[in-house]
A = this chain, B = another copy of it.
Amino acid sequence: MITDEKTAVFDLFCYPKSITVIGVSSDDKAFGSRQLSALLKFGYEGRLYPVNPNGGEFFGLKAYSNVRDISDSVDLAIIAVPAHIVSRVLEDCLAKGIKAAEVLSAGFREGGNEGLRLEKELQDIATRGIKIIGPNCFGVYCPNGGVTILPGANFPKESGPVALITQSGQFSEMIVMQARGLGIRFNKVISYGNACDLNEADILEYLAEDTDTKVIQAYIEGVRDGHRFLEVARRVSRVKPIIIWKVGLTPLGSRAASTHTGSLGGSESVWNAFLSQSGVVGVNSIEELIDTTLTCLHLPPHCGSRVSLVSGGGGGTVVGSDACQREGIASPVFTPETQEKLGSILPRVGASVKNPVDIANPLPPSQLLWSVLEIIAASEEIDLIILRRIFLSAKGLSLILGEAESTEKYQQELMDVPLQVKEKFGKPVIVILREEVSDIELLEFEADRRQLRDYYLAHGIPVYPTLERTIKALANLFKYQNTL
């Protein structure tokens, strides 16, 4: 269990009433200046104190030449000065009574022996009453606390159920921005870099007790404290899903991790053992991280795992079946009764009623789609339906093939079928909407696809761009549910 004291310190990072940014200068591209600018643009409402050795004024704020000169109390120091000065600055922060510091500066452990020595100085100072996130990081984004990371001026102001911890600053930005279009919002993003003091296990413990956080994501290059991390991860993953993108698992990757955050990457086999012992969900790309998060957010915690794939064409039933089998997902053949019911409404030739169901028409009449899904959802044989390559907006198909005709009414009816099925039968429905065309002249198709995606997401129907990614995200969820 995390101590109240530790929680209080993390709260200073996430909900600071006052911040000093140390290392602001007249160079707009300096990290300190960019961090201060990001906080201002993001709309931080607490008190802000820039520090520059020569004083002056930045962004309309008076700068202090030393943090000790600030008369007000300060909750958080964000430090962006050259590596060899950081210790001295931290000593000033200690003297000022500051208890939380983010060190954005690079040039520590990742840079070799001299950097390692400098990082050890930071660790020593941390034992004397100030907790450190970093060095070599982008800091903390917490919209409810009004704070954001270095490149996070444009991050959403709304909070959400996801927390992200990451050793890579750039990925913190990329993940938040890519997830945003899918309606995924974060309550905390902690870019923690080299983890000289507060590490992955500390942060995980804090997020475990954080009631705002329902799903935890992580990008990790090297685990600092493997034994404790396993213990904490095992405990936390019983309460909420932890999805970890672990990198540096090959010799080449580990070499790069050492240069990037001074991390020891580790081996695939050790990591796989960790996953099976901890209940943590392992992923291998930004896409898989976000897809899996979407599944965790939209599907009920104990939904069953027997899947029916309903496809607008036959090839997808083969691809989907291979994917299910490889991922260990059950896609049972329907009973003769259910097959017979489906057979009575689907074309005698061309279609398939066994599961996967091939309705042999990417643009079915809405009544037909409804009837097919009703038969499937009403059966006790499956728990979840995936719709593939059915043009739920007829506009999409006509943009591609130039042959479909449709009316507004038809579109709305077809589009709503998945919602109605979900509502009536209480079974999850998942929709696959591909980027079918990427010609620059056909941006209209992408606009239509995003509109439809947002409509479904707003109604609790997860949307993925490909069959393979859908099955992978589902498999990750089912694996997690099986550990509970």
CB nearest neighbor in B for A285? B468
Please determine whether A436 and B177 come into contact, CB atoms closer than 8 angstroms. Answer: yes
A181 within 8 A of B: yes
CB nearest neighbor in B for A38? B403
Interface code A97-110, partner B: CB below 8 Å = 1, 0 otherwise? 00000000111000
Please determine whether B83 and A403 come into contact, CB atoms closer than 8 angstroms. Answer: no
- Whole-angstrom distance between the alpha carbons of A153 and B348 in the complex? 27
A270 within 8 A of B: no
User: Given B252, B352, B440, which contacts A321 in the complex, CB threshold below 8 Å?
Assistant: B252
Please determine whether B325 and A253 come into contact, CB atoms closer than 8 angstroms. Answer: yes
Please determine whether B151 and A111 come into contact, CB atoms closer than 8 angstroms. Answer: no
A401 within 8 A of B: yes
Please determine whether A154 and B401 come into contact, CB atoms closer than 8 angstroms. Answer: yes
Please determine whether B170 and A248 come into contact, CB atoms closer than 8 angstroms. Answer: no
Q: Write the nearest CB–CB distance from A82 to chain B, whole angstroms.
A: 8
Interfacial chain B residues near A166, Cβ < 8 Å: 315
Interfacial chain B residues near A106, Cβ < 8 Å: 349-350, 360
CB nearest neighbor in B for A436? B177
Please determine whether B170 and A314 come into contact, CB atoms closer than 8 angstroms. Answer: yes
Kindly identify, within residues 179 to 199 of chain A, every residue whose CB is under 8 Å from any CB belonging to chain B.
Answer: 180-182
User: Given B255, B265, B312, B435, which contacts A170 in the complex, CB threshold below 8 Å?
Assistant: B312
Please determine whether B154 and A259 come into contact, CB atoms closer than 8 angstroms. Answer: no
Interfacial chain B residues near A446, Cβ < 8 Å: 443, 446
Please determine whether A436 and B178 come into contact, CB atoms closer than 8 angstroms. Answer: yes
- Whole-angstrom distance between the alpha carbons of A259 and B265 in the complex? 46
Q: Which of A316, A318, A362, A451 has the most CB of B within 10 A?
A: A318
Binding site for B on A (CB under 8 A): 34, 37-38, 41, 82-83, 105-107, 111, 136, 151, 153-154, 166-171, 173-174, 177-178, 180-182, 219, 221, 247-253, 255-257, 259-261, 265, 284-287, 312-322, 324-326, 331, 333, 348-350, 352, 354, 356, 358, 360, 362, 389, 400-403, 434-440, 442-443, 446-447, 450-451, 454, 466, 468
Q: Which 4 A-B pairs have the closest CB atoms?
A: A168-B315, A181-B438, A170-B313, A253-B322
Complex A-B: 13 CB contacts under 8 Å? A154-B403, A168-B315, A170-B389, A171-B313, A171-B315, A177-B400, A178-B437, A180-B437, A221-B318, A256-B317, A257-B318, A260-B358, A440-B451
